[in-house]
Structure formats: structure tokens, C-alpha cells
Structure 1
Amino acid sequence: MSTWRSHARVVRVLWVIALGLSIAGTFALMERLRIGNSMARRQRWTAWFMARLSAALPFRVKVSGKLPNEPMLWVSNHVSWTDIPLLGMLAPLSFLSKAEVRTWPVAGWLALKAGTLFIRRGSGDSKLIQKQMGQHLLGRHSLVIFPEGTTTDGRSLRTFHGRLLSSAIETGVRVQPVAIQYVRDGQPDQIAPFIGDDDLLSHLRRLFANEVSEVHIQLLSPIASQGKERAALAFEAQQAVQVALFGEAVQPAILRSAAKAA
């Protein structure tokens, strides 16, 4: 790819981010004035922003399946930070994110003003975050979680942690499994994954220095949550995503491992 085209992509993304900052600044002002500061409005504007950010990224996106017409707890495999704008453009959504994201320059503030819920891993505040998630869902606001708890290289799927799905069971909200897959030249894309000690700036440079790749987002059949154990619900969602991505079911032995993790 030419250096000129790579720089043009960077400029486009920076313009979109500047637009996002202006939207987030408006939300911050509305918070201070205590006017019109609803989560529904945040989600609608965030979806509008995510659509423009996704369009500025070097991906061709294919979406299959039906968008839910009711609030749900979306559960997706997690490959990259780009999962967030790609999913966020589909519908008014909020995200559950690791607390470290809140400290990221620019991106952390944008996430906060977009209504993201933050969780500190291993901090013992799981009950608090489950309560916040429940309130969010009861307010009829869809929420996206990545129950693997980390990103992968896209070639495998980690165990879905059941405790993150407790809020769906408590509120009776259905679960929307989502499978996201990055492909380059017919093979799993090794540039899109954001794993290990990678940093955001270096990852952006790699993305923009290479040709466009493909992303397939599959919205799978919703899963009823009422009356289910959280480990069983997590495994059912994991099975759906596993089959969608790799065409094969998770072995029963993994169910026992998932139950322990929950």
C-alpha cells in the first residue's frame, strides 16, 4: 500500500475521532447542566459515531442474522479493540470494558461518555458491576460483554465466564450471541488481533499500512436466560459462537471447566 493512502486513512480516522470528542464534550456539558442526559440518547449518538469510525477502518464488513428488536445482553468473542466500533455501529448499545480502558488517552474518555461500564478484574467488585449491569438491562438498554475476558488471535475461542451472564438471568433478558471473524486472503487475519503487549498506536499503524481485510459479524439465534444456571447459559452461548466460527461444537469436558470458572 502507498504511503499516501496510509496517511489519508489516518487523517480520516483522526477527523472521526475529533467528531467523537465533540459529541462526548456535548454529553459532558449536558451532565453539568443536568439536561437531556439519557442513556438512550447516548446510545443513539454512540451508534452514529461508531458507524463513521467503522467506515474509516480498513475493513469490508458483512453482517448476517437478525438484529434484535428488544434489549438483550450481547455476548461476543473478542479479537480486537475494533470489535467495539464494528458491533457498536449495528444498534444502540453500551459495553462492559476492563477498567484499564478508562485510563487510555482520548479513547478512555470517549468510552466513559458513551456510557461504558468498567470492571476491575480481580478487585472483588463483581457484585457491584452485576448490579449495574442489571439496572442497565432493566432500563431497556442493550449491553455488550466479551465473556472470554480477553482478546484472542481469532483462531480459537476461550471459555465464556458465567458470572458475567448473571445479570441476564436475574433480569430475564435474553442473550444475543455474536460471532466476529476477521479474514485476510482467505485465512484468519493476523493483523487485526489486538493481543499481548500490543499498543493502540502501533496497531493502528499496522492496520493502515495494509490492504483492506474482511470482517464477518454473525448475529446468532437469541438464547432464553430464565431458569438457567449461569454456567449452562454461558456454555450454550459459547457453543453457538464456536459452531459459527469453526463449525464444530465444544467438547463436553469444556463444560465442566466452564462450570468451575463460573
Structure 2
Amino acid sequence: MSVWLPGAPCTPRACVERTTSTASVPRAVLRFVAVVVVVLAGVVVSPLGTRIPAGVIRRWSRAVVRAAGIRVRVTGAPAPGTGGLLLVANHISWLDIPLMATVRPARMLAKLEIRQWPVAGAVASPACLFIDRDRLRALPETVARIAGVLRSGQAVAVFPEGSTWCGRAQGHFRRAVFQAALDAGVPVQPVRIRYRYGSGAASTAPAYVGSDSLLTSLWRVTSARGLVAEVEVLPLLGPGGPADRKALAAAAGDLVLGARPVYPRGVPHESAALTNSR
């Protein structure tokens, strides 16, 4: 377990409902292959790093999500296209990462283990700021690195809950990363992500929680029918707003989460200490 990023009590068995409406097996296989092909295309161009135009990154990110059979719906005012910006969002799925790039391409704060992932690690490495979650002493250094990137005029995307939640349950925003925005004097852009079926009902099918493997999660997503990803860009929190990281984290959390932590039915909150953080 991480010493400074929490684990969520959400697990596939407790939180992820059976998909009642599924795509045919051939269509699910085609979607699965399409996602792999689009990601591999990202591997090919990933060595270019920050030289890749923002428009290309946005189109590629949408292509990943759409290849999985998911419609994307973005609402709200667009994030500033230039200048340092800290994007913060709730965290449900690996799909959140390309969805955040549709708001504004950004350096992603990610756990060090992702660097070792096959294929995905190669795509992520040039665009990520990696953190060692097992080293408490590394936290001030990580905050300073984020602040430096923000001062350079780049955007950084962070999931301050520190772990994935199922979408019906949620955590709360940790304070540390908000110090980087204060130190750099840049605004914070809150973003709310939801997954629904075409009928409007909430879906936990995209959740990537607990003992889920990436392949299991990918198959569950590509075999579901009628999924919609909703990305809501919320009001910007400018540098002249909350004066300390506690208040800034609370303000962003109220906008994105809108409630205190909620735990899945049948899963006591004490079990969070036993669940590995994603």
C-alpha cells in the first residue's frame, strides 16, 4: 500500500455490476483490437513527446475512447489553451486519462509502476511525471517538480483522490498537489467524469478497481453496449481564490465530487487500508 496515496475499498466483485446489454462477441473483439491498434499508433509517435501538436493529441485521445465503443460528451467552458494549468478530476477508469486530454493535453502525474506496463508504459513515459508512492520523503520533491512544469507554461493533470473508485462511490481530494498550483501561481481546472449508458443510467462497467487487470477491464468496456463518457469542465479556480492548499483542495473537491466520501454497499471503509492504490 502507498504511504501517501490512499487505497479505495472498491473491488470488481462489490462494485462492478454485470452488464445487462452487451455487444456481440465479434463486435467486442473488433473494438478490443481497435483500441490496441490506436494505442500502438501512439507508441510509434510517443518519442516526439511535447513536439506533438495539441490537436493531434486530442484527436488520438478521443480515438482511444471511441475505439472502445464509447461516445464522448464534453460540456462546460474549455480549459485555457496556453499557460500553466493544474487539471484535477475524479478517478474511475484508465479511460479517464485520454478523456482528460480531450479537455487539454497535459503532463500526467502517474505512479511509477505504469512505466513498466507493456505498450501503455511506452506511450505514457514521455508524457508523464512519475511518482514513487512508497517514499513519503519524495512528496515535497514531487510537488516541486509539478510546480516547475506549471511555471514553464505547461498543463499537469492529476487525480487527487489518489486511487480509482467505481463511480458510485468516491473518495476525497488530497491536498498535496494543490500546493504546486499555489507555488506556481497558476489556476486549477476542475473536471468531473461520469460514465453512463445511453438511457442515462450510471454505469460502473468502465471502473478499473481493486484486483482488476488492464486486459479484464478493457474487455468489459469493449463488450458493453451504449456506454457514454461525460466530461464536464467546471468553473476555473484562479490564483486569486483559496489561499492555502487545504481550502483549494476543498473547493475543487466540492465542485467535482460534491459530497463526502461514499463507500460501496457491503464494503466497510476500514478495508481501504487493505486495498492497493491504483
Normalised TM-score (structure 1)? 0.83
After superposition, the CA RMSD in angstroms is: 1.9
Q: Is the 8 A contact 1:49 1:89 kept in 2?
A: no
> What is the aligned partner in structure 1 of residue 149 from structure 2?
136
Larger mean CA deviation between 62-71 and 126-135 belongs to 62-71
> What is the aligned partner in structure 2 of residue 236 from structure 1?
251
Alignment of 1:78-93 (within 5 A): 78-93=91-106
> For the residues of structure 1 that align with 2:56 and 2:45, how far apart are their CA atoms?
8
Tell me how far 1:22 sits from its aligned partner. 1.0
- The number of equivalent residue pairs is 234
> For the residues of structure 2 that align with 1:22 and 1:219, how far apart are their CA atoms?
30
Tell me how far 1:67 sits from its aligned partner. 1.1
Unaligned runs of 5+ in 2: 1-22, 262-278
Pick aligned residue for 2:134 from 113, 122, 126:
122
Q: Is the 8 A contact 1:165 1:230 kept in 2?
A: yes
> What is the aligned partner in structure 1 of residue 193 from structure 2?
180
> What is the aligned partner in structure 2 of residue 56 from structure 1?
67
Give the aligned residue type for 1:158: G
**Which structure shows the higher helix fraction?**
1
> For the residues of structure 1 that align with 2:156 and 2:125, how far apart are their CA atoms?
14
Alignment of 1:17-56 (within 5 A): 17-24=39-46, 26-27=47-48, 39=50, 41=52, 45-56=56-67
Tell me how far 1:2 sits from its aligned partner. 1.6
Q: Is the 8 A contact 1:94 1:144 kept in 2?
A: yes
> For the residues of structure 2 that align with 1:101 and 1:42, how far apart are their CA atoms?
24
Q: Are 1:169 and 2:174 an aligned pair?
A: no
Once the two structures are superposed, residues 181-226 of structure 1 have per-residue CA deviations (whole angstroms, 9 ceiling, x without a partner) of: 1112433212110000100011111111121311111100011245
**Are residues 40 and 91 of structure 1, via their aligned partners in 2, closer, same or farther at CA, if it must alter by over 3 Å?**
farther
> What is the aligned partner in structure 2 of residue 193 from structure 1?
207
Give the aligned residue type for 2:38: V
> What is the aligned partner in structure 2 of residue 110 from structure 1?
123
Task: Give the 3-state SS of the residue equivalent to 1:53 in structure 2.
Answer: helix
What percentage of aligned pairs have identical amino acids? 30
Indicate the structure whose relative CO is greater, using CA pairs within 8 Å and at least 6 residues apart. 2
Give the aligned residue type for 1:89: T
Task: Give the 3-state SS of the residue equivalent to 1:64 in structure 2.
Answer: strand
Give the aligned residue type for 1:94: R
Pick aligned residue for 1:74 from 79, 87, 96:
87
